Amino acid sequence: MKFFILFSAAIFLFLSCEEKIYNTYETDPRFFNDAFHGNIIGKVIQKNSEANVIVSQVNDIATSKISSADGSFSIIDLEIGNYDLTIQTDNFRTYLLKNVIVNGGGTTYLGEIDLSKIPDLVSSHYPEDMEEIVYNNRYSRLSISMTFTQPMDRESVEEAFSTDPPTDGVFNWGTYSEAPTNIYYAMSPRDAYDPGATITTYSKISSFTYRVAQKDSYVDTTYHVTLATSAKDTAGNSLRFPLNFSFSTIQSASTQNSILTDPEHGDVDVDLMYLNGIKVTFPRNMDFESTEQAISIIPDVDRIFIWPDYNELTIYTGGPFWADTDYKITIDETAMDRDGIELGEPFSFEFNTASVAISSTTPRNGQLFVDYSNAPITMRFNTYMLRSSVQSAFTITPDIPGTFKYGTQYSTNDKTQITFFPSSPYQKNTKYTVTIASEAKDLYETPLGEEYEFSFITMPE
């Protein structure tokens, strides 16, 4: 009995499914295929574009308009083979998909297709639409670049190009810059060996960079760029619809919600002779006096404040950093910007400095054929050193007398370099080993991190 019920239920489901398939077969022509025919279906995201879909093999085979309801399209009952599919409509780039395979008795689904608003003749542009550019107009000028699929008529392109707000600028053909350009240097071709053009006519040029005049290169500004349909290639073909895109500039070396530092928080082994000092960049222009009063430094070192810009502060600690030391800089919440608005919450960052060390020597370790007459020995440190301590820590084997001075034989007073001048010739064809004991100290009397040793061999007869 149970078997009969299950069998009856299975028959009922089968007949129901068969009926649904049959009804679909009756109402949907995509199912009318034999082993030698198939279909192509897809969906255009821009459902209101009234796009035409064309399937071709050298010549057009079939066409279909997308559905205004959902953007879908179907090309049915195609002979098996490979096809090129083209989607065309006004104000959108022509979409081309080559070698679409149609199998017998099946349907090839192309998925959702997003049509581009970039005209057919344009290959790419910089900045991209809605892009944000980090930019500082003190040192650079904005760049707007385009590449094309064909060589372009320069005059028509330049006349068709415009920006809002309006700008003055210079077109540099044969280039494509993807960043603001330095104000002090002219543009150069992207490929200096093959500029791809006859220089006198530029008849093959298919790219340009428009350098916006510095006076028109603003921060915190949205630019709208247009290339009108009057732009044409050298064959006389114009853009089918205008190119429109926009981008925004954001002041460089600043952040929206935080403070930038150099060294950065958590840096280790920071150079003792760090030439940037301690650099702090604020998200807004600061009041100098209240900001300086809000700063504390551990350890309690000297500090001199320099403001290269209203939002950029450099802290000089009176000389090299202390070796192997944890620095912590705190800016109290009472620091105010130039509008009198306080920072609101304290900000702090930390970094660790390197140990006192020898960075290089002359002669270098392992050097051969060193002049035996009176070649000086120079030791270069990563910070200012006390010459007397280095002299006491210095030994050379075999022993040879000599004197010490800051700098090298060619320079004086560089306290990061100490040179030993032998007062008699070296022995010929002899290995000499120099040792700097860890008792050598920097100007803060911090000793060398570890003993340093190097050797060289003098030249023979």
Please give the pLDDT value at position 18.
36
Express each pLDDT in 165-217 by its tens digit: 999 999 999 999 998 877 655 555 444 444 454 455 557 889 999 999 988 99
Across all residues in the chain, what is the average pLDDT?
Answer: 87
For residue 282, count other CB atoms closer than 10 A to its CB.
23
Place 29 in a pLDDT band, splitting at 50, 70 and 90.
Answer: low
Whether residue 41 contacts residue 53, with contact meaning beta carbons closer than 8 Å, is answered with: no
Please give the pLDDT value at position 183.
61
Candidate from 73-87, 345-359, 408-422 with smallest mean pLDDT: 408-422
Please list the residues that pair with 245 across neighbouring strands: 225
Express each pLDDT in 31-65 by its tens digit: 466 889 999 999 999 999 999 999 999 999 999 99
Express each pLDDT in 249-303 by its tens digit: 987 555 555 788 999 999 999 999 988 899 999 888 899 999 999 999 999 999 9
CB burial readout 419-454, b (16+ within 10 A) else e = bbebeeebeeeeebebebbeebbbebebbbeeebeb
Map residue 297 onto helix, strand or coil: strand
Asked whether residue 21 carries a pLDDT value surpassing 50, the answer given is no
How many whole angstroms separate alpha carbon 111 and alpha carbon 302? Answer: 67
Share of the chain above pLDDT 70, in %: 87
Whether residue 259 contacts residue 282, with contact meaning beta carbons closer than 8 Å, is answered with: yes
CB contact set of 107 (below 8 Å; sequence gap of 6+): 30, 38, 39, 40, 41
Half-sphere exposure of 76 (CA within 13 A, CB side): 10
Express each pLDDT in 105-144 by its tens digit: 888 999 999 999 899 999 999 999 999 988 876 678 899 9
Express each pLDDT in 10-19 by its tens digit: 444 433 443 3
Please give the pLDDT value at position 461.
79
- pTM (2 d.p.): 0.54
Please give the pLDDT value at position 40.
93
Burial class (CB in 10 A: 0-12, 13-18, 19+), 418: buried
How many whole angstroms separate alpha carbon 301 and alpha carbon 308? Answer: 21
Whether residue 356 contacts residue 338, with contact meaning beta carbons closer than 8 Å, is answered with: no
Please give the pLDDT value at position 254.
52
Stronger pLDDT, 6 or 272, i.e. the higher one: 272
How many whole angstroms separate alpha carbon 323 and alpha carbon 314? Answer: 20
Q: Strands 107-113 and 37-44: what pairing? A: parallel
Please give the pLDDT value at position 2.
46
